[in-house]
Structure 1
Amino acid sequence: MNTLVDWLANTPTYTTFRINKLRNFDIKNLTNCLEVQRKELGSEQIPNFFFLKEDCLIVDRWPENVVMEKSKNEVIVDVSCATAVLRGAHVYAPGVLGLSSNCKLGEKVDVYGDLDGHCKRGLKVQYIGKKVYVGTGYLKMLRHNLFDNGAQNSGVAVSMLLPASKLPVINETIYPEGQVLLQNLPSIVVGWVVNPQPNEIILDMCAAPGNKTTHLGEMSNNKAFIIALDKTQQKADKIVKNCKAHGITCVNVFAFNSVNCYTECGDGEVIKPPFPLNSFDKVLLDAPCSGLGQRPLLVNKISSKMLESYKFVQRKLFNAAVKVLKVGGILVYSTCTINEEENERMVAWVLEKFPVLKLIPAEPLLGGPGLPNNGLTDEQRIMVQRFGPEDDSLRPVEDIYKNSIGFFIAKFTKIK
């Protein structure tokens, strides 16, 4: 357990970009960005980078000898912001909780995450609560911009120079909107497992903000017929915006609860929810989950009651997914959690509850097998993918897939 806890507390050692195959991509934007940082950091070389596949670009950390002296100025940010900084993001204004009163614009500042959650917004003295250093950067906003008169500014408050994780500070803005997307590697693998093809009718059940939806559209060369659902109009609007940015026109978006996305009243066209039974060639159920695979997991405040609740929602979604899936169709289930109840045990429950579903290999099999002693046989364990630090003789895993976030993927076909 300590190995898993330590693994979750640490940041992945690389950054993953998904490349939009529908757009032209020029690697020079990335190399130019890294070269500017290299000069600032005094490094002899930029981080290594390579294409894992044509739609997946991996960027490594800065060399170990790249270091940054800490300053005497302190910025306190919330845990969410601290996590993003460790993954290579700048500090944005809404995440700032405290800033020393004597800081000047453009000065180097050290950024700390508030692990206790006790720092009051607007703090001007040194924070004495539990905190963690997450990196050093240049101050871009002063106290009056951040806190005076209840200010709720947006924009970059600290332009990060070097996160403590030593990941390069890169975001999608170095490319035109929709050309690249920062996305965790297992989330990209989900698209590879679904493997959308032109003219297939595909349902993305819990689609917001649309990252996997756009990947499906790109992989099908914008020629599949994809319906994306999420519960609220606000979430649906995010999917629409994401599709527009990526140049995806093959997706229809609806604000609709996927638990109720089917109707048993007759046949009809697959136009809008609720859908007739046996409507879709493929269904992606990227389910709401406990999110306990996110890295770095600096703080875990989820209650046992909340943790227990997710499986009931997931079961309801499976019920709907099975009904709208065609016989011979493919259902892909994924979560970003390490919780066995939502992963291996969920698959075991599905196979018992729905005899019409058959577990099949979630190819390409890049993550490890499912955990033992959680309801699956060895034959079944090797068909699913669990991304984590575990070693299992059933299937060796390349380091790059062991060093992302905690994730799970299973694949089913409907046999009758």
Structure 2
Amino acid sequence: MFYPKTPFLRKPQLEKELLKINVSALPELLEWLCQAPSLTTYRVNTLTIDPKDYLHKIEQTLVDRYGQRAPTVFRIPDIPEMVCINPLKNQSSENTADICQPSTTRREIIVDTSCGAALLRGSHIYAPGVLAMETGTQLYECVDVYADVEGNCKRGTATRYESPEKIFIGIGKVQMQRYQLYNNQKDSPSGVAIEMQATVSGVPTLGDLSDAYGLLQNLPSMVCVRVLNPQPGDRVLDMCAAPGNKTSHIAELMQDQGLLVALDNSKSRVKAMQSRIGHYKCIQSHVFDSTKALAEHNDQHNDPPFSSASFDRILLDAPCSGIGNRPQLSCGNQLKTAKDLKSYPNIQRRLFGQAVHLLRPGGTLVYSTCTVTEAECEEIVEWALKKFPQIHLLDAIPRLGHSGLSLPNFDPEQAKLLQRFGPGQNLDTVGFFIAKFGKTE
């Protein structure tokens, strides 16, 4: 880790809920969930730029900002479109003078836990994220940034917010003053309010550099699409497409040739992802419930619902508890109860059943989640193999994560074909799970 092991997450409450379900290596997992991933990754749009050129562009941005302290940038051969950024140099626990620390002389800014988690991963603070700013805070003044873990800070607070549950995130420079943030006008303020200078995670504070050439995206999400291995000319279904990051990745690997159907049951989410996928010729997006994607009659058309055996490849990036998202700073909206956690496998199974019937013989189905619970990962795979004899596991390669967990009634050799991202890996990223299936009849 690149910063002190502050107990960001209120672990006893999280542990209480996770103990009600089957979660392996819980103490190690809880510690890991408390910390922000140290690795930042961008996916290069290979239709618009060579990844080598994009890497040099990122390197120059880092040198311009950090000089000799600029982190290293590298690529991984198995995912050639991915560019990885290491944490800042000289941020190890041995160099305590270099660790970002609060000051008694600086004013304070308070943000919510969602914003705080984003800051620890390199983001700046946008206007809606500022809960409290002290009166008298000046433009370009350096301030200490704290996250309100208990969620009691009222938006617009003008005095210093005192609470034992606030946690220090880092140091920022003010770009918007109080009158701009809390002017009670009809239109809410937008834009960067605080430009972060440093955080306790040591992750470079670059904001989101996404543009037409590259997209900020988690490493396992890129691995997931590479496991699917879409090819130009394929018919591909993305069953739960929003926000469209994996969808656009699929389109790029298809070289924008073939048919890629993107479904999501939310009209607002489908509308929001148009800016990301609208310029690809091969993508057709629909507001549609994928639990009803299989047509009762075999009518050949490109609109949902679809005939059985309609697709060469299917991505089921299923709705899940999201427990793999790091760091989890609170037990508020980010934490699910045990009852919530147990509800997800039901929808995952319903979606999976649709996917199996929509996949053609010889086709490929990838099931993925951004969580770490066995019930939503290995147990779904175990259930699917028993429920659908026409499918079988394939090796989820390229492999940058660990093998899956061995369950009591699950063949250990089968578990090795799965891919799980969790604690103890060389590439420090979010929690994720990937399973790849083939269909024989």
Settle same-fold status: TM greater than 0.5.
yes
For residues 171-210 of structure 1, what are the alpha-carbon distances to aligned partners after superposition, in whole Å with 9 as ceiling and x for unaligned?
444x6x3211111110010011001001110000000011
8 Å contact 1:37–1:161 — kept in the other structure? no
8 Å contact 1:172–1:180 — kept in the other structure? no
Q: Which residue type is aligned with residue 296 of structure 1? A: P
Distance 1:121 1:79, change over 3 A: same
| Match for residue 393 of structure 2 among 359, 363, 379 | 359
8 Å contact 1:93–1:157 — kept in the other structure? yes
| Match for residue 22 of structure 1 among 42, 47, 50 | 47
8 Å contact 1:344–1:375 — kept in the other structure? no
Q: Which residue type is aligned with residue 253 of structure 2? A: M
Deviation at 1:36, TM superposition (A): 2.9
State the TM-score, normalized to the length of structure 2: 0.87
For residues 122-144 of structure 1, what are the alpha-carbon distances to aligned partners after superposition, in whole Å with 9 as ceiling and x for unaligned?
11222222111111110111112
1:323 aligns with 2:357: yes
| Match for residue 294 of structure 1 among 293, 312, 325 | 325
Q: How much is the aligned-residue C-alpha RMSD, in angstroms?
A: 1.6
| Match for residue 35 of structure 1 among 63, 71, 94 | 63
Unaligned runs of 5+ in 1: 391-397
- Secondary structure class of the residue paired with 1:275: coil
- Aligned residue runs from structure 1 range 306-345, under 5 A: 306-345=340-379
- Secondary structure class of the residue paired with 1:97: strand
Equivalent residue number for residue 169 of structure 2 = 134
- Secondary structure class of the residue paired with 2:144: strand
| Match for residue 49 of structure 1 among 73, 80, 100 | 73
- Aligned residue runs from structure 1 range 171-250, under 5 A: 171-173=207-209, 177-244=211-278, 247-250=279-282
Deviation at 1:275, TM superposition (A): 0.4
Equivalent residue number for residue 393 of structure 1 = none
8 Å contact 2:132–2:153 — kept in the other structure? yes
Equivalent residue number for residue 406 of structure 2 = 372
1:167 aligns with 2:167: no
- Secondary structure class of the residue paired with 2:372: coil
Cα distance in 1 for residues equivalent to 2:300 and 2:100: 63
Structure 1 residues 84-93 or 320-329, which shifts more? Answer: 320-329
Distance 1:276 1:183, change over 3 A: same
Cα distance in 1 for residues equivalent to 2:403 and 2:59: 36
Larger RCO (alpha carbons 8 Å, 6+ apart): 2
- Secondary structure class of the residue paired with 1:54: strand
Q: Which residue type is aligned with residue 244 of structure 2? A: G
State the TM-score, normalized to the length of structure 1: 0.92
Distance 1:374 1:181, change over 3 A: farther
8 Å contact 1:11–1:295 — kept in the other structure? yes
8 Å contact 1:345–1:374 — kept in the other structure? no
- Secondary structure class of the residue paired with 1:235: helix
- Secondary structure class of the residue paired with 1:349: helix
Cα distance in 2 for residues equivalent to 1:28 and 1:350: 44
1:121 aligns with 2:155: yes
Percent identical pairs in the alignment equals 40
- Secondary structure class of the residue paired with 2:189: coil
Runs of 4+ in 1 over 6 A off after TM superposition: none
8 Å contact 1:344–1:374 — kept in the other structure? no
Equivalent residue number for residue 308 of structure 2 = 277
Deviation at 1:220, TM superposition (A): 1.5
